[in-house]
Amino acid sequence: MRQKEKKIILGLSIAVALSIILNIVCYVSANKEQTPSAPTVDNVTTENTAAEEEKTTAAKKTTSESATERKNNDNTNSKIAVDANSTNDYSKCLNTQLYKKVTCNTSGGYSFVYPKNFFNRVDINKDGKYVFSADDGVTEYTVFSQKATAGSAQQEVKNLAEDYKDEFSHFYFKFPTEGVKKSGAFCRKIYGGHLNSDKTIGQYMIIASNGTYDYILKFKYKADDKSNNPKGQADYMADCFYRGASFSGSTKEIRTYNEFLSDES
pTM value > 0.95: no
Residue 48: pLDDT over 60: no
What does the pLDDT read at residue 204?
A: 96
Distance CA(168)–CA(156), nearest Å, equals 20
Distance of CA 65 to the CA centre of its chain: 9
- Mean pLDDT of the 33-41 span: 36
- Mean pLDDT of the 122-151 span: 92
What does the pLDDT read at residue 105?
A: 84
| Burial 207-224, CB ≥16 within 10 A → b, else e | bbbbbebbbbbbbbbebe
What does the pLDDT read at residue 103?
A: 92
Question: Which of 8-17, 33-42, 100-109, 180-189 has the least mean pLDDT?
Answer: 33-42
Confidence of residue 144 (pLDDT cuts 50, 70, 90): very high
**Distances from the Cα of 102 to the Cαs of 15, 67, 110, 245, in angstroms?**
100, 21, 8, 9
| CB proximity list for 107: less than 8 A, separation 6 or greater | 127, 128, 144, 145, 146, 147, 213
What does the pLDDT read at residue 151?
A: 87
What does the pLDDT read at residue 59?
A: 43
What does the pLDDT read at residue 121?
A: 94
What does the pLDDT read at residue 36?
A: 37
Confidence of residue 26 (pLDDT cuts 50, 70, 90): very low
What does the pLDDT read at residue 80?
A: 83
Question: Which of 84-93, 201-210, 225-234 has the least mean pLDDT?
Answer: 225-234
Is the peptide bond between 176 and the residue preceding it cis, with omega within 30 degrees of 0? Answer: yes
Structural domains in the chain, CATH included, are 74-262 (3.40.1000)
Distance CA(254)–CA(42), nearest Å, equals 64
